[in-house]
A and B are shown apart, each in its own frame.
Chain A
Amino acid sequence: MNTMNNKKFMMIDGLPVAIEGEKNILDVIRKAGIELPTLCYYSVLSTYGACRMCVVEGKHGEIMASCSTPPRSGMEIKTNTPRLQKYRRMVLELMLADHCRDCTTCDKNFDCKLQDLAQRFGLKDVRFEPYSIWDDKDESSLAITRDPNKCIICGDCVRMCSEIQNVGAIDFAFRGSKMEVTTAFKMPISETNCVNCGQCAAICPTGAITVKNDTRSLWEDLYDDNTTVVAQIAPAVRVALGDEFDIPRGTNVMGKIVAALRRMGFDEVYDTATGADLTVIEEAREFIEHLENDGTLPLFTSCCPAWFRYAEINHPELYDNISSCKSPMEMLGSVLKERAKVNETGKKPKKTKVVAIMPCTAKKFEIHRDEFQYDGEPTVAHSITTIELANMIREAGLRFEEILPEAVDMPFGIASGSGMIFGVTGGVTEAVIRYVMGSAARDHLADISFTGVRGFDGLKEVKIPYKEDRELSIAIVSGLKNAENLIQAMQAGEVHYDFVEVMACEGGCIAGAGQPFVIGRAKPERSEGMYEADRLSNVKLSAENPVAEGLYANLLAGDKAHHLLHYK
């Protein structure tokens, strides 16, 4: 030990491991390459210590939860002893006793931490009877389904909802063996302040909260000869779908997605990044108008539907501050519907349905909002998540790894790099800055990327010069708790901004709840994938996208641009 200088060490299973500022011994153990099981521990959330899977044994035989024990120099612990094995198996068995075990029909089959651990610890028999009878599923939400029969009371969703998203739509209720996770007064979740961000479903280790599956009705439309099915793919989807098919994290698989969609029967395939270019143009114009004409400032972005809902419920006073722009998905959807209508021929024209493939669960809610209807029907007929797309690809029997990439369709087949980076926190802002700087931005792309718009801080502040005498103050937040803190500071007069980008999910759409699981895993790789897509695009500025130029000259001419691209 003398050779180890002043460093602090602890002994894990007889081997010395350095303590380097970890807040608990669990992190030290995992650093040492031991995958200690946990169901309720995430470093981004507060420590709860409820699942008891991470127990370790101390020198004197004491058993402690490693997630809630700080490391001390000289500590000696063991992670695998007969007692610990017995203890963990017992805890698992008790959890399973009261858990609906219809695994084959569960949405989380093969993607369930409880199932994983039962396998890992070789649990073959559950000796105990279930001890509680829970309520029926809550299917009221358009985004998520709650099934209390699969809840293990780990509280991950509760802490996610309140600590990260500042929503608190669900919490524990009652106590002891009657304890459950539910809404206030067991209201249907759709009647609460839930914003549909879906992060509860993303973090749920079991199938107790799952993302709504909307693929059945989509298959029906695909099989219907009288329906033209048009897909649009959001930027963040292309750098995450690969996770589901063992493709290296962050790899851009856009071309493969396009090809797979065609095989499945989609008639046309476009890129939501093209819609994002329209959003940049419209939102930047709106911003400049607010700036020049003493309009309401700051201008908040409106493209994130969970943030939009959050603001609607909690901050109606900000109505005038929120951009009147539709989201890129709705903008492109409106354009596609309008084009279909203009091009309609014959007595009984085929119906056109727009399908959005999104990293997001709140989009499932957004498409049904009154603001986003076209001729009395949702502009976007279906919004499915990245994971739903992966499941459809498997269902169709396509070997995704082997599919050769294809390009999206004309006439909307071009998206700028500005549109691509919408998928990551700061992307909208970076795109708007490029627009506001005009063609000068082309020579300053690197400078803009270093202003502070990139990275994963919950709050990023950027200052950019505007005209000769003005400096624009911009804030970028992701995670609704961070958004709330900013609003509080703003309303207390402590800070002032001209433009605020809000994304409900921490890290932006790449970490959306419709994506393969991301927390503590794939954010840097996915964000790099987005920036690479930007670097590889030959058009960098939204305003220079020839598709956008063409649209403004024709389909969006006159007041149609406002009519189709804005909800206010």
Chain B
Amino acid sequence: MDNQELYQKIDEIIRAHDDDKPIVAILQDIQEEYRYLPREAFDYLSKKLGVSLAKIYSIATFYENFSLSPKGKYVIKICDGTACHVRKSIPILEALRKELGLSSEKSTTDDLMYTVETVSCLGACGLAPVLTVNDKVHPAMTPEKAIELLSELK
């Protein structure tokens, strides 16, 4: 990644926020842009915000939503909230993992095409079991439908 471009982007993001420099919001915006928090962003942010590197790392690792490693082009989030869970979300998760060669430790494919992760509740319990692909909601899923969805994405 071109660091200069990254730094410019971070400058823009910081400028877009007001003077109190909200770290979490700034990290969210960076993640929005790059789908994860690049390592290089931390050093630059630390200097820009006057906050120690360890503190930013602390915040970034505290929240499940932040990712320190690059995510796939398609981020698939399988809801495992109560409603989805009882309507069998886990087999969907397992099917997708098996198909893509992923596990609970490894959530992104090596070609950076797919990331598979769970979320606690998407608030769409009426559509359970539900998953999202890059924030687009896919209702009433089954393992078969999920695999089919994968081939559509390709």
Residues of A whose CB lies within 8 Å of any CB of B are 162, 167-175, 182-185, 192-193
Give 20 pairs: A residue, B residue, CB < 8 Å, sorted on A: A162-B55, A167-B52, A168-B53, A168-B54, A168-B55, A171-B52, A171-B54, A171-B55, A171-B57, A172-B58, A172-B62, A173-B54, A173-B57, A174-B62, A182-B54, A183-B54, A184-B42, A184-B52, A185-B42, A193-B53
A193 touches B52 (CB 8 A): yes
CA distance A173 to B51 in the complex (A): 15
Q: Mark B134-145, 1 if CB is under 8 A from A, else 0.
A: 000000000000
Nearest chain A CB to B92 CB, angstrom units: 26
**Shortest beta-carbon distance, A567 to chain B, in Å?**
27
Which parts of B52-97 form the interface with A (CB within 8 Å)? 52-58, 61-62
A170 vs B52: C-alpha distance when bound (angstroms):
9
Q: Is there an interface contact between A185 and B52, defined as CB atoms closer than 8 Å?
A: no
Q: Of A170, A174, A175, A184, which is within 8 A of B56 by CB?
A: A184
Output the least CB separation between A313 and chain B (Å): 11
- A193 CA to B56 CA, complexed, in Å: 14
A55 to B117, CA, bound (A): 40
Q: B39 an interface residue at 8 Å Cβ cutoff? A: yes
- The residue among B51, B52, B56, B62 with the most chain A CB atoms within 10 A of its own CB is B52
Residues of B contacting A185 with CB < 8 Å? 39, 42, 57
- A162-B52, A193-B52, A193-B53 as given contacts; A173 in contact with B58, CB under 8 Å: yes
Interface string of B41-54 (1 = CB under 8 A from A): 01000000001111
A505 CB, nearest partner CB in chain B, Å: 19
Q: How many angstroms between the C-alpha atoms of A170 and B55 in the bound complex?
A: 8
A175: nearest residue on chain B (CB-CB)?
B62
Cα–Cα, bound, A192→B55 (Å): 13
Identify 6 new A-B residue pairs, CB closer than 8 A, beyond the known A162-B55, A168-B54, A171-B52: A171-B54, A173-B54, A173-B57, A173-B62, A175-B62, A193-B53
Q: Give the distance in Å from the alpha carbon of A192 to the alpha carbon of B53 in the complex.
A: 9
Task: List residues 3-58 of chain B with CB under 8 A from any CB of chain A.
Answer: 39, 42, 51-58
Question: Could you tell me if B54 and A170 are in contact, using CB atoms closer than 8 angstroms?
Answer: yes
Report chain B residues within 8 Å CB of A168.
51-55
Q: How many A-B residue pairs have CB under 8 A?
A: 43
Closest CB-CB distance, A511 to chain B, in whole Å?
23
Question: What residues on A are CB-neighbors of B55 within 8 Å?
Answer: 162, 168, 171
Q: Which residues of A contact B54 (CB under 8 A)?
A: 168-171, 173, 182-184, 192
In angstroms, Cα B56 to Cα A192, docked, is 14
User: Taking the nearest CB of chain B, how far is it from the CB of A133, in angstroms?
Assistant: 14
Complex Cα gap A169–B51 (Å): 11
Q: Which residues of B contact A172 (CB under 8 A)?
A: 58, 62
Partner of A175, one of B51, B53, B61: B61
Q: Which residue of A lies closest to B57 (CB)?
A: A184
How far, in whole Å, are A46 and B12 apart by their CA atoms in the complex? 34
- Per the bound structure, the CA–CA distance linking A192 and B54 in Å amounts to 9
Q: How far is the CB of B43 from chain A (nearest CB, A)?
A: 9
Which chain B residues border A183 with CB–CB below 8 Å? Answer: 54, 57
Residue from A162, A172, A183, A193 whose CB has the most chain B CB atoms within 10 Å: A172
The interface residues of chain B lying within 8 Å CB-to-CB of A193 are 52-53
Closest-by-CB residue of A relative to B42 is: A184
Nearest-Cβ distance from residue B78 to partner chain A, whole angstroms: 21
Q: How far is the CB of A282 from chain B (nearest CB, A)?
A: 35
Q: Which residue of A lies closest to B52 (CB)?
A: A168
Which residues on the A side are within 8 Å of B61 (C-beta)? 173-175
Q: How distant is A215 from chain B, measured CB to nearest CB, in Å?
A: 30
Docked complex Cα distance between A168 and B56 (Å): 10
| Bound: A162/B52 CA distance, A | 8
Q: How far is it, in angstroms, between the C-alpha of A171 and the C-alpha of B54 when the chains are bound?
A: 5
Which A-B residue pairs are the 9 nearest by beta carbons? Answer: A168-B52, A171-B54, A184-B53, A184-B57, A171-B58, A184-B54, A173-B61, A174-B61, A175-B62
How far apart are the CA atoms of A387 and B61 in the complex, in Å? 37
- A169–B42 CA distance with the chains assembled, in angstroms: 14
CB closest residue in chain A, given B62: A175
Give A289 Cβ to nearest chain B Cβ, in Å.
Answer: 34
Minimum CB–CB distance for A181 against chain B, Å? 9
Tell me the bound Cα distance from A470 to B39 in angstroms.
52
- Give every chain B residue within 8 A of A162 (Cβ-Cβ): 52, 55
B145 to chain A minimum Cβ distance, whole angstroms, is 33
For the complex, give the distance between the alpha carbons of A169 and B55 in Å: 8
Please, how many angstroms separate the alpha-carbon atoms of A175 and B56 in the complex? 14
> Chain A contacts of B42 at CB under 8 A?
184-185
- B70 CB to nearest A CB, Å: 15
Distance between Cα atoms of A168 and B52 in the complex (Å): 5
B39 smallest CB distance to A (angstroms): 7
Contact flags B120-142 to A (C-beta < 8 A → 1, else 0): 00000000000000000000000
Looking at the assembled complex, report how far the CB atom of A78 sits from the nearest CB atom of chain B, in whole angstroms. Answer: 36
| Chain A minimum-CB-distance residue to B60 | A173
Residues of B contacting A175 with CB < 8 Å?
A: 61-62
- Name which residue of chain B comes closest to A186, CB basis: B57
Beta-carbon nearest neighbor of A178 in chain B: B61
Q: How far is the CA of A167 from the CA of B52 in the complex (A)?
A: 7
Q: How far is the CA of A254 from the CA of B56 in the complex (A)?
A: 46
Q: Which residues of B contact A174 (CB under 8 A)?
A: 61-62
Minimal beta-carbon separation of B99 from chain A (angstroms):
29
Chain A contacts for B62, CB-based, 8 A:
172-175
Between A171, A183, A184, the greatest number of chain B beta carbons within 10 A of the residue's beta carbon is seen for A184
CB distance from B100 to the nearest CB of A (A): 25
Nearest chain A CB to B88 CB, angstrom units: 27
Cα distance, A169 to B56, chains bound together (Å): 11
- Chain B residue at minimum C-beta to C-beta distance from A170: B54
* Chain A residues, Cβ within 8 Å of B57: 171, 173, 183-185
Q: Which residue, of A169, A171, A182, A193, has the highest number of chain B Cβ atoms within 10 A?
A: A171
Name the residue of chain B whose CB is nearest to the CB of A166.
Answer: B52
Question: In the docked arrangement, what's the CA distance between A282 and B55, Å?
Answer: 40
Alpha-carbon separation in the docked complex, A183 to B54 (Å): 5
Cβ contacts under 8 Å, B51 to chain A: 168
B4–chain A nearest beta-carbon distance, Å: 22
Distance in angstroms between the alpha carbons of A559 and B42 in the assembled complex: 47
Q: A169 CA to B62 CA in the complex, in Å?
A: 17
